[in-house]
Amino acid sequence: MCPRILIVAGSDSGGGAGIQADIKTVTMLGGHAMTAITALTAQNTLGVQGVLPVPAAFVAQQMRSCIDDIGVDAVKIGMIGSVDVAHAVADILDTLDVPVVFDPVMVATSGAVLADADTIAGFERLMRRATVVTPNLPELAALGGEAGILAHGPAVLVKGGHADGDDVIDRLVTTDGEVARWSDPRIDTRHTHGTGCTLASGIAEGLGRGLALPAAIARARRFVRVALREAPGFGAGHGPMGHARVRLDGATAGMVANQVTLPSTDYDASVGFYGALGLSRIIDAPPRYARFEAAGGTTLSIEAMAHDDIGAVVYFEVDDLDAAIARARAAGAVVSDPVDERWGWREALLSDPAGNRLCLYQAGEMRRFPPWRIADA
């Protein structure tokens, strides 16, 4: 399935946030991105130097052009630009029956104000139509807190990136209370431009392909975290993330073959061999284990084994391990119960009819970016 995601947001000339980040996110996750641009901005990693709003009627025309011909499976709303645009977008949303993710953009990462008081007041109609609203903590306060948003009907993903602490905690809240929570170590980087746009578009892509809201959020968060780690380092301020480098990291839908473990009877010889082939060593734990990364994002590990325990293992990363195990068992495969390994992977083993060893697993960023990754690898 290739979900059709209509993105209503502003353009970022620096390519880090806005429509540019949205298109990259939806595309890398496997969806088809369509756009209705609400404003043109002149901006870079240091700030926003200028904003040129797009007339509300033309924003609506862009939306209708996409909807009437291509169709739409989910909508993501970002920067609105004006109260007139807010109402024009809400008018069209009232004619649709698809999930809507509303990222209430008010202030850019650099601190530039992107929504005035009248525009924020116009957010009420958009919140009434949204499936989920994704404010950061300052935006949450401006919209009346959790209760203020919930009063309009949508779920709220309270993002904790602006909070203090070593962990980033995101909470999904509905009128029934907190229904899900995610906590991950904070990634120490200044290249955070576009994190909110990327997360919201990732959620919309997941909802558009039929994922439940918590699953869509979890998948989008994995995408954001790997993109943060893959930031190219551009600019002197808040730089863009590395969307194009999120390839095989457990964020795409379905099953992905992204890791192979091979036996080794001579650690030094194996390390030298795969290094000479051009693979990059990212984990080094002699004399037992090493992991390499190929240019496309696939990883290969060598592991010292006894001669009577030699065998390769092919790893398939899945977005829902329990569901994948159930499907395999329904097909007649004998699959071990899932195990939470100490290295951060959750995995289950099985064999194919020829006896080849396979592993269904979830690792996310722990496959390529565990805390023990070689520095600068």
How far apart are alpha carbons 218 and 206 in whole angstroms? 10
How far apart are alpha carbons 115 and 293 in whole angstroms? 43
What is the rounded radius of gyration, in angstroms, for the C-alpha atoms of the chain?
Answer: 22
296 is catalytic: no
The active-site residue out of 159, 206, 242, 364 is 159
How far apart are alpha carbons 18 and 21 in whole angstroms? 6
The active-site residue out of 197, 202, 206, 242 is 197
Both tokens of 107, joined, read 């202030």
10 is catalytic: no
How far apart are alpha carbons 237 and 357 in whole angstroms? 47
Q: Residue 174: count other Cβ atoms within 10 Å of its Cβ.
A: 16
Both tokens of 36, joined, read 């209705």
38 is catalytic: no
Both tokens of 299, joined, read 């990883």
Both tokens of 59, joined, read 């924003």
194 is catalytic: yes
Q: Exposed, middle or buried by CB within 10 Å (0-12, 13-18, 19+), for 62?
A: middle
Contact 72, 96 (CB under 8 A): yes
How far apart are alpha carbons 222 and 258 in whole angstroms? 15
The active-site residue out of 35, 45, 109, 195 is 195
24 is catalytic: no
The active-site residue out of 81, 194, 206, 239 is 194
Both tokens of 256, joined, read 């992905």
Nearest to 258 by CA among 340, 368, 183: 368
Nearest to 16 by CA among 185, 197, 175: 197
Preceding omega of 138 cis (within 30 degrees of 0): no
The active-site residue out of 131, 192, 298, 299 is 192
How far apart are alpha carbons 262 and 305 in whole angstroms? 9
The active-site residue out of 14, 196, 206, 364 is 196
76 is catalytic: no
DSSP 166-179: SEEEEEEEETTEEE
Q: Which residues are catalytic?
A: 159, 192, 194-197
